[in-house]
Amino acid sequence: MVNNIFLRRGLVKKGMKVVGLLLAVVLSLSWLTGCGLNSAKEANNRKGEIKIGCVLPLTNSNLGPKAAQAVQLAVEEINQTGGINGKKIKLYLEDDRMDAAASLQATKKLVELNGVKLLIGGTDAASMVVGPYAAEKKVLLMVPMSTSPRMTGQKWREYVFRTCPSDALQGKLMAQLAINEGYKKIALMVLDNVYGVSYGEVIKETLTGKAEVLAFIKYDPKSMDYRTELTRLKNLNPEAIIQIGHGPESEVIYQQADELGLDNIRWIVGECAAVPALLANPGVAAFMQKTAVGTRATAPDTKAREDFISAYTKKFKTPPLIYSDKAYDALKMLALALEKAKDDDPQKVSQALKEVGQNYEGASGIISFDQSNDCVNSFYEVWRVVKEAQEYKFERVKLVTVKQGKIMGKKD
């Protein structure tokens, strides 16, 4: 639901024409301790400037750099059309390196040194430590990449909104794939962190009473040698393996699984395996083509999505990945709330977000927040790997719609 005033201000744009003006991203080089929070807040109220901080994994991640670029694109579009209530956005970008402690440190730096009151960021483990800090300091946090079910219902969620859906939804979908294909003996292999374990717990719970879970194996992403775990899986003789992880270690897992003869078992894999880097490895791509089916967050082919992909690709010379659209929408929704609140006070912006976040039509589809500030509408696709003209690519098998937290139906 987009108000016409926001269209005129350029916060939600038709066509999204991007010109050559580069966004000034402030990278702070040091954190000086002892700076007073009150004086920083006074600096933040300078005429003509709204400070927004962005803490995302710029390293150790396939998806983080793309999400950060999407935020930059959104800021650039808004600033080029006059900003928000006459004020330009000043973006502070920090790298959390996929590490919760680093994310908290970067967030504290932005809030306590730079006077930032509005933030975008947080992967799964990071959100669980940054969220309570945001509540303590009464700063607002938009989360585009943290899908952990453990976030839902936390007491610190008053100022924490997420534009991505909980894996409580996608986990059920993955389990249902295994059930629908008739597998009765299933093993789980999940990343040993908040993301992987909470995701896996949903899958295991959904499978209970419908299939036997032979093992729930947690693995260390820093190991990069998974032959011990894979040999254990092979000895269990499962009919299917459900694997949750990130791209870099998943590539190693599939390569080693192929070496160990686990290419005759169905692999049902998570969205982080659906990245071009894996298909650039011919052996891994062939393994995935033979064995794998997966799920990932997506969106219907609307004009808003087409415009975002076009603008992103034009600016960065490469297409976006999953969660890039969620990050873009997070910034645009925050801007709309700022416009509505006519203030950057987090409490006022939070109230405005609750109104903006009802049937918001964005690049990632229609976003609605529930009472926990969770996104309850989403779209997933079931995908597979195919080979066409000697080139491997991901192909959509079907689109799955989720409304108000419920899987509504599937479209081939």
Averaging pLDDT over each range in 17-26, 30-39, 189-198, which range is the top one?
A: 189-198
Confidence of residue 25 (pLDDT cuts 50, 70, 90): very low
Question: Given this chain, do its domains 4-164+323-376 and 167-298+379-411 carry the same CATH topology?
Answer: yes
Dihedral angle sign, alpha carbons of residues 294, 297, 303, 308: negative
**Higher confidence at residue 138 or residue 224?**
138
Confidence check: pLDDT of 19 > 60: no
pLDDT (0 to 100) of residue 9: 46
Chain centre distance of CA 215: 28
Among 47-51, 137-141, 150-154, 342-346, whose mean pLDDT is lowest? 47-51
CATH topology of domain 167-298+379-411: Rossmann fold (3.40.50)
Residue closest to 25 by CA, chosen among 85, 75, 98, 99:
75
Confidence check: pLDDT of 110 > 90: yes
- Break the chain into its structural domains and give their ranges: 4-164+323-376, 167-298+379-411
Residue 56 structure tokens:
């995302």
Confidence check: pLDDT of 136 > 70: yes
Confidence of residue 17 (pLDDT cuts 50, 70, 90): very low
pLDDT (0 to 100) of residue 31: 39
Confidence check: pLDDT of 3 > 60: no
Rounded CA-CA distance 224/219 in Å is 10
Q: Average pLDDT in the 129-142 region?
A: 96
Cα-based angle 143, 149, 151 (whole degrees, multiple of 5): 50
* pTM attached to this predicted model: 0.79
Confidence of residue 47 (pLDDT cuts 50, 70, 90): low
Tracing tokens 């926001």 back to the chain, one arrives at: 6
Confidence of residue 167 (pLDDT cuts 50, 70, 90): confident
Percent of the chain with pLDDT over 70: 87
Select from 3.10.20.30, 3.90.260.10, 3.40.50.2300, 3.40.50.300 the CATH code of 4-164+323-376. 3.40.50.2300
Contact (CB, 8 A) for 405 and 183: no
Confidence check: pLDDT of 63 > 60: yes
pLDDT (0 to 100) of residue 410: 53
Rounded CA-CA distance 332/49 in Å is 16
pLDDT (0 to 100) of residue 5: 37
Average pLDDT, the chain: 88
Confidence check: pLDDT of 32 > 90: no
pLDDT (0 to 100) of residue 401: 85
Contact (CB, 8 A) for 222 and 262: no
pLDDT (0 to 100) of residue 256: 98
**Burial annotation 247-273 (CB, 10 A radius, 16+ → b, else e):** bbbbbbbbebbbeeebeebbbbbbbbb
Contact (CB, 8 A) for 277 and 252: no
